[in-house]
């Protein structure tokens, strides 16, 4: 057995694709435990915190990095390039956070199209004046030379729709405690789960951890939004007519939203064997509607505000549904 201090340090990278930055902040949230991390690992690439350049990564040997936490979805050519590059340079590639795992919030862009998004952002939004109109170009020649921008894709993809992924760590963002557990397990040389596993989360759904009172009395006559009820703080949200993604979502976050008296939004993704949590939850919610009359059912269903965004908030690109089919392209 080699001594603790003679053990080679892990080389670790954290990268963001189409992400909000929250995942990187969740890594920073280890606070003083960062010393434990840096005692065991060298951070070789982490754009939010370190000034390592892409060229430095390109210069690394293949499999040079032991573990990369890739957060963010793949939505443009830069994301794709970096995903492929980091895959090549990394032994254990972890899809870190909801966006890399299932597409996340940027993945809701799949309910729209490239054209519609660019038009909204660069032409139609009320704060925009663009008489040209000028749209972002991937290549633009100026007298000083050529400027380039990554290409914006029509499709938002998950990390595993782009490159081979070893593990998934769900959450928006993942609980920092879970990250530390996973990190220390790797450092301590614990046996890793089979490739493709979801790590840093539980096997069971949120309800198993949720302390609210649950029964089979899920009969909904009116769907409500949280501000429309006086929550008693004790009864299952679904039994109060509020859509809670808890049953279709893995536990492990410590029921953060529910503890804060807000329904689960589903960021931890589905348990194993559920390829499409949105469809699963819709199907479950459909059985809760307390009516046999088709007109009344339609009326009740129409009370669900933004059903696509509610049921597929974090999971659209990774689901069977994947995207809205663009009839205009």
HSE-CB at 196 with a 13 A cutoff on CA atoms is 3
Distance CA 271, CA 299 (A): 31
Our CB check for other proteins shows the closer of 141 and 216 to be 216
Does 218 bind other proteins (CB under 8 A)? Our answer is yes
Our CB check for other proteins shows the closer of 177 and 209 to be 209
Does 191 bind other proteins (CB under 8 A)? Our answer is no
Those residues with Cβ within 8 angstroms of residue 177's Cβ, 6 or more apart along the chain or in another chain: none
Ranges of beta strands (E only) in the chain are 10-16, 41-45, 65-71, 74-76, 90-96, 139-142, 145-148, 152-157, 167-169
CB of 293 to other proteins, least distance (A): 13
What's the Cα-to-Cα distance from 124 to each of 80, 108, 110, 116, 163, rounded to whole Å?
28, 19, 19, 10, 35
Alpha-helix residue ranges (DSSP H) falling in 202-276:
256-259
CB of 236 to other proteins, least distance (A): 8
**Cβ(261)–Cβ(229) below 8 Å:** no
HSE-CB at 16 with a 13 A cutoff on CA atoms is 17
The piece of 43-51, 150-158, 176-184, 264-272 that touches other proteins (CB under 8 A) is: 264-272
CB of 276 to other proteins, least distance (A): 9
φ, ψ (nearest 5 deg) of residue 301: -60, -35
Does 204 bind other proteins (CB under 8 A)? Our answer is yes
Distance CA 74, CA 1 (A): 42
Does 91 bind other proteins (CB under 8 A)? Our answer is no
CB of 249 to other proteins, least distance (A): 9
Does 270 bind other proteins (CB under 8 A)? Our answer is yes
Our CB check for other proteins shows the closer of 14 and 264 to be 264
CB of 288 to other proteins, least distance (A): 7
CB of 327 to other proteins, least distance (A): 19
Binding residues for other proteins restricted to 221-250, rule: CB under 8 A = 236, 238, 246-248
CB of 167 to other proteins, least distance (A): 20
Does 211 bind other proteins (CB under 8 A)? Our answer is no
Does 256 bind other proteins (CB under 8 A)? Our answer is no
**Cβ(267)–Cβ(276) below 8 Å:** no
Give the DSSP letter of residue 205. B
The piece of 34-42, 66-74, 159-167, 209-217 that touches other proteins (CB under 8 A) is: 209-217
Binding residues for other proteins restricted to 277-316, rule: CB under 8 A = 277, 280-281, 283-284, 287-288
Our CB check for other proteins shows the closer of 15 and 312 to be 312
What kind and span of H or E run contains 282?
Answer: helix 277-288
Those residues with Cβ within 8 angstroms of residue 308's Cβ, 6 or more apart along the chain or in another chain: 108, 111, 316
Distance CA 268, CA 254 (A): 11
Pairing of strands 90-96, 65-71: parallel
Binding pattern for the stretch 29-58 against other proteins, x by CB under 8 A and - elsewhere: ------------------------------
- Burial of 11 (C-beta count, 10 Å sphere; 0-12/13-18/19+): buried
One residue of 271, 289, 310, 314 binding other proteins per CB under 8 A: 271
Does 163 bind other proteins (CB under 8 A)? Our answer is no
**How many residues at the interface with other proteins, by CB under 8 A?**
32
User: Footprint of other proteins on this chain (CB under 8 A)?
Assistant: 203-208, 214-219, 236, 238, 246-248, 251, 270-275, 277, 280-281, 283-284, 287-288, 320
């Amino acid at each position: 057995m080699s001594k603790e201090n003679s053990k080679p340090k892990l080389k670790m990278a954290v990268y963001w694709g189409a992400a909000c930055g929250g995942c990187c902040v969740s890594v920073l949230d280890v606070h003083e435990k960062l010393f434990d991390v840096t005692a065991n690992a060298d951070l070789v690439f982490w754009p939010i915190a370190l000034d390592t350049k892409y060229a430095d990564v390109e210069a690394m040997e293949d499999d040079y990095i032991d573990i990369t936490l890739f957060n963010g979805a793949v939505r443009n050519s830069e994301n794709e390039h970096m995903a492929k590059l980091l895959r090549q340079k990394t032994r254990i590639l972890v899809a870190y956070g909801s966006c890399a795992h299932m597409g996340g919030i940027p993945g809701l862009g799949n309910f729209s199209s490239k054209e519609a998004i660019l038009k909204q952002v660069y032409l139609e939004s009320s704060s925009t004046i663009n008489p040209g109109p000028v749209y972002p170009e991937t290549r633009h020649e100026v007298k000083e030379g050529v400027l380039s921008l990554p290409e914006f894709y029509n499709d938002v993809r998950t990390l595993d729709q782009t490159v081979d992924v070893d593990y998934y760590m769900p959450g928006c963002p993942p609980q920092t405690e879970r990250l530390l557990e996973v990190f220390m397990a790797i450092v301590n040389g614990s046996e890793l789960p089979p490739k493709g596993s979801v790590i840093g989360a539980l096997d069971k759904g949120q309800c198993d951890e949720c302390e609210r009172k649950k029964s089979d009395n899920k009969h909904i006559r009116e769907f409500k939004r949280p501000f429309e009820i006086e929550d008693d703080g004790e009864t299952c949200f679904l039994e109060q007519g509020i859509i809670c993604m808890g049953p279709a979502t893995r536990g492990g976050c410590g029921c953060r939203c529910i503890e804060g008296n807000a329904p689960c939004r589903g960021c931890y993704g589905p348990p194993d064997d559920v390829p499409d949590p949105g469809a699963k939850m819709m199907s479950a919610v459909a059985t809760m509607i307390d009516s046999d009359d088709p007109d009344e059912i339609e009326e009740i269903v129409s009370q669900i505000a933004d059903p696509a965004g509610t049921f597929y908030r974090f999971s659209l690109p990774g689901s069977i549904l994947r995207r809205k089919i663009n009839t205009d392209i």
